[in-house]
Amino acid sequence: MISKKDYDYHLPEHLIAQHPLQQRDASRLLLLDPRTGALAHQQFRQLPVLLRAGDCLVVNNSRVIPARLLGRRQESGTAVEVLLLRRLTETDWETIVRPGRRMRPGHNVEFIPDRLTATVESTLPSGNRVIRFHFQGIWEEVLEQAGTMPLPPYIHEQLDDAQRYQTVYAKADGSAAAPTAGLHFTPELLQVLRGRGIRIAELTLHVGLGTFRPVKADNILEHEMHSEYYELPETTVRLIEKTRREGGRVIAVGTTSCRVLESVATRLGSLQADQGWTDIFIYPGYSFKIIDGLITNFHLPESTLIMLVSALAGRTQVLDAYEEAIRQEYRFFSFGDAMLILPDCAAIPPVTDKGDRHA
């Protein structure tokens, strides 16, 4: 048995970031050497000096869609909220519907009169609904008009600019939540990284709202992971292979990128171009096959994401790092600060100008 309570920690509520910093790369960066547990403090914009020429960053280029739809039941006029989870066909989606008990197969919802309506097709064992949408025009354009960004449940403030919940390299529509480790990058920072000989490789994993689902089972081995769609292109596989041959390090930007790489290597026995669905659950005891390091934000207590990070850097060392981040008042979760987990990274001298820690 592996208890979920082993991954618990106390986080003061005021450290949950409610909005992004004015400058993306002004975030703080906690460095953790997984071999020694050594810690150091940097700023995210210093990332180019923390990496080496020939290293490869693997980013998730998924784009968040406006997956939260508000409508009314045509039968009764009562308000209904629909959250899009994953697309099943051109018209059908697996969704979360609230209130769910009143939405049974055959019931209809109106979002935009004469342009966007929907019918509940079935109820899944999970309680999610399969909904068939009826729309006039191009789906993506209709969705942009009808939907809003489904921010995480721990963010209680409105987002002034929806683009701040997108990475600057987002291009593949499909996520219901942002791959938040990538929110710290700017076009200028990416240019500096490339100029220093650091490779940038892309893949796609469409993040579902299941990423916020808590682990309910006391024994984490009994937890059922949600499934997410991914695409790993041949160009990225070749770039990673080239990095390996030349002695560079592969650093996943976010747990989503990590899960794609490790899932493909685990299932196929080697890294190959692939696409499909992954429900890989990485926790301590897992042997990493592809990545050497990870850039990641700070994760919720008892979540599968903190378990993944603990598999890479050790549970005790990760919890010690979180304790240090809390002591230094780092910002947590989606709009918060970041960590770099990489051997020898903590040996880099810290910057002398700490800047505005909470700009």
- Residue 90, pLDDT > 80, answer yes
pLDDT band at 250 (very low <50, low <70, confident <90, very high): very high
CA-to-CA separations, 275 to 198, 203, 212, 234, 354, in angstroms, rounded? 26, 10, 23, 11, 42
Q: What is the mean pLDDT of residues 333-356?
A: 80
Q: What is the mean pLDDT of the chain?
A: 93
Determine contact, residues 220/4, Cβ cutoff 8 Å.
yes
Between CA 23 and CA 150 the distance in angstroms is 22
Name the residue ranges covered by the structural domains of the chain. 4-64+159-347, 68-148
- Measured CA to CA, the distance from residue 322 to residue 240 in angstroms comes to 30
Beta-carbon contacts of 134 under 8 Å, excluding residues fewer than 6 positions away, are 91, 116, 117, 118, 119
What are φ and ψ of residue 100, in 5° steps? -75, -35
The kind and range of the H/E element at 84 are: strand 79-87
Model confidence at 279: pLDDT above 50: yes
What is the rounded distance in angstroms from the CA atom of residue 221 to the CA atom of residue 208?
21
Report, in this order, helix, strand and coil percent for the chain, each rounded to 5: 30, 30, 45
* Whether pLDDT at 356 is above 50: no
Q: pLDDT band for 354, please (50, 70, 90 cuts).
A: very low
* In contact, 204 and 230? CB cutoff 8 Å: yes
CB 110 within 8 A of CB 201: no
Residue 353 predicted with pLDDT over 70? no
Cα–Cα distance measured from residue 71 to residue 110, given in angstroms and rounded to the nearest whole number: 5
pLDDT at 160: 86
Instruction: State the average pLDDT over residues 332-347.
Output: 95
pLDDT above 70 covers what percent of the chain?
97
Residue 266 has pLDDT above 60, yes or no: yes
> Are 201 and 249 contacting, i.e. CB atoms less than 8 angstroms apart?
no
CA distance readout (Å), 155 to 17, 146, 148, 149: 8, 21, 15, 12
d(CA 326, CA 312): 21
SS3 for 183? helix
Instruction: Give the residue among 17, 42, 13 at the shortest CA–CA distance from 28.
Output: 42
* Tokens linked to 75: 């039968």
The CA angle 124-222-232, to the nearest 5 degrees, is 70
- Residue 357, pLDDT above cutoff 70: no
- Which pLDDT does position 224 carry in this prediction? 87
Q: Are the C-beta atoms of 306 and 211 separated by less than 8 Å?
A: no
* Cα distance from N-terminal residue to C-terminal residue, the chain: 43
**17 or 102, which is more confident?**
17
Range 49-53 average pLDDT = 97
Compute the average pLDDT of residues 249-272. 98
Q: Is it true that 4-64+159-347 and 68-148 share their CATH fold?
A: no
Task: Report the pLDDT value the prediction gives residue 151, as an integer from 0 to 100.
Answer: 87
As given in the structure block, the two tokens for residue 234 are 């041949």
Strand 250-253 and strand 92-98: the pairing is unpaired
pLDDT at 202 over 90: yes
CATH (residue range 4-64+159-347): 3.40.1780.10
SS3 174: strand
**199, 248 contact by CB (below 8 A):** yes
Radius of gyration for the chain, computed over Cα atoms and rounded to the nearest angstrom: 21
The total number of residues shown for the chain amounts to 359
Q: What is the pLDDT of residue 213?
A: 75
Residue 214's pLDDT band, with cuts at 50, 70 and 90, is confident
Distances (CA, A) of 236 to 60, 250, 260, 356: 11, 11, 12, 36
Q: Which residue has the higher pLDDT, 18 or 152?
A: 18
The token pair at 149 is: 């960004």
Q: What element of type H or E holds 264?
A: helix 255-268
* pLDDT tens-digit map of 142-182: 999 999 988 888 998 888 898 999 999 999 999 999 999 99
Q: What would the pLDDT profile of 104-147 be if each residue is shown by its tens digit? A: 999 999 999 989 999 999 999 888 999 999 999 999 999 999 99
Task: Tell me the whole-structure pTM to 2 decimals.
Answer: 0.92
Q: Is the pLDDT of residue 352 over 90?
A: no
Mean pLDDT of all residues in 203-232:
89
What one-letter code names the amino acid at 185?
Answer: F
Predicted confidence (pLDDT) at residue 346 exceeds the cutoff of 90: no
Q: In the prediction, which pLDDT does 300 show?
A: 96
In this structure, whether the domain defined by 68-148 belongs to CATH 3.40.50.2300 is answered with no
Q: What percent of the chain has pLDDT over 90?
A: 84
pLDDT of residue 351: 60
